Amino acid sequence: MGRNSLVSVALSLAALFGSTSHAGAQSQAEHVVLITLDGARHQEIFGGLDLELLRSISGKTPVESHPSYTAFWAPDVEARRAKLMPYFWGTLMKEGSVAGNASLGSVARVTNGHHFSYPGYSEILTGEAHDREIDSNDARQNPYETVLEFVRRKLSLPRNKVATFASWQIFSGIAEHVPGATMVNAGLQRSESRDPIGQRLDELQFDARAPWDLIRHDAFTFDLAMDYLQRERPRLLYLALDETDDWAHDGKYDQVLDSLARTDRQIQRLWTWLQADPEYRGTTSLVITTDHGRGRTVADWRSHGNTIPGADEIWMAFVTPASARRGEWRGQAPLYQNQIAATIARLFGLDLAELRPTAGLPIAPLFDLGRQ
């Protein structure tokens, strides 16, 4: 093959996968925030309130009388989802983009074969599915180094500059392979804040217990993370919220809707603060996704796992200076959960393949500023 042919092939590969020099020149971030909403269905993200699911919990009361109907229903799908998550659709997706709406030809899926939480979170953080090693939600240390540890190691960051705040206690193991490699606060755990508000939150989380084992309310997780963000100013922050899954398992669809609406307000607080702070404004990338889908119907929406159709269907949202994409992805090649870790690394100008050559590739269209 001649020199010109080799150059042509190299340029083609760079356009497809995103070259290292391209990443360093156009897409390197100073800060990244990753947010996951446990088991949050794409049906609500893209379609808002599901009337059949609300009707299924309304009993003999007309669904039109239910408070959730009053709060979140609209006949038009775009108006309906905007009533549920007004900041996400009214502001954030005008600054960023979201994939996973199959009705527009955008597909996002997990690659692990289990379709529940620990395997999904590990796939997000390691860039691979490990179906044999990670086949339960049992408390155990992640067998593999995560992108959180990788970013800290490659950028030679102090431990406090890579932080995870999670509502589920099991994240003490999920987030890192080496205990203590990063800062992890998960479940009912004190943050040891020096701020009076943070100290009060440390106490209140034990007084206002969630109705599930190993879980604290997302409100505490979020506010403790905000306190930490302002005090310690991390480069990489992971916020893992849980109540969208917990209420769904309990069959309380109205509480699922309330959780999504509350999360929308929390994202507004977070992004507004980031854009008001000189250090974070214009230098921060935001990635929002979920660990798994769940059932599509009245009969199975409460559940997930590899026997539930639809439990492999996820969604991903991005707000980043690296990308000019706006709104919903359309007619794009499928995206996979195992691409998120490499995408986070690439946002920092790093190549996850150095750690794990078989990991999913970065999401290339995010790093092509000329392609919409």
Q: What is the pLDDT of residues 99-125, one digit of tens each?
A: 999 999 999 999 999 999 999 999 999
Is 372 inside a domain boundary? no
Is 115 inside a domain boundary? yes
Q: What is the pLDDT of residues 142-199, one digit of tens each?
A: 999 999 999 999 999 999 999 999 999 999 999 999 999 999 999 999 998 888 888 9
Tell me which of 92-106, 186-200, 326-340 is least confident: 186-200
- 10 Å Cβ neighbour count for 280? 17
Q: What is the pLDDT of residues 236-258, one digit of tens each?
A: 999 999 999 999 999 999 999 99
Domains of the chain: total: 1
User: CA 37 to CA 52: how far, in whole Å?
Assistant: 22
296: burial class by Cβ within 10 Å (0-12, 13-18, 19+)? middle
Give the residue-averaged pLDDT of 48-59.
96
CA dihedral 116, 179, 318, 214 (to 10 degrees): 40
Is 334 inside a domain boundary? yes
Cα–Cα distances in angstroms (integers) from residue 155 to residues 30, 80, 147, 194, in the given order: 11, 43, 12, 27
Q: At residue 16, does pLDDT exceed 60?
A: no
Q: Which of 211, 191, 187, 216 is nearest to 202 (CA)?
A: 191
Is 192 inside a domain boundary? yes
Q: What percent of the chain stands above pLDDT 90?
A: 87
User: CA 120 to CA 290: how far, in whole Å?
Assistant: 8
User: CA 368 to CA 363: how far, in whole Å?
Assistant: 10
Query: By the 8 A CB rule, do 290 and 261 touch?
Result: no
pLDDT band at residue 28 under the 50/70/90 scheme: low
Mean pLDDT, all residues of the chain: 92
User: CA 12 to CA 259: how far, in whole Å?
Assistant: 44
Pick 17 or 153 by higher pLDDT: 153
- Domain, as residue range, for 110: 3-367
Q: At residue 213, does pLDDT exceed 80?
A: yes
* One-letter amino acid of 366: L
Tell me which of 19-28, 99-108, 169-178, 350-359 is least confident: 19-28
**Inter-axis angle of helices 218-232 and 196-207, to 10 degrees?**
160
Q: Which two tokens mark 239?
A: 């916020």
Is 132 inside a domain boundary? yes
Give the residue-averaged pLDDT of 64-71.
96
Helices (H), the chain: 3-17, 20-22, 42-47, 51-57, 67-72, 77-84, 86-87, 93-95, 117-126, 147-155, 171-174, 196-207, 218-232, 243-249, 253-276, 340-347
- Report the CATH number that the domain containing residue 360 is assigned in CATH: 3.40.720.10
Supply the DSSP symbol for 27.
I
Q: At residue 370, does pLDDT exceed 80?
A: no
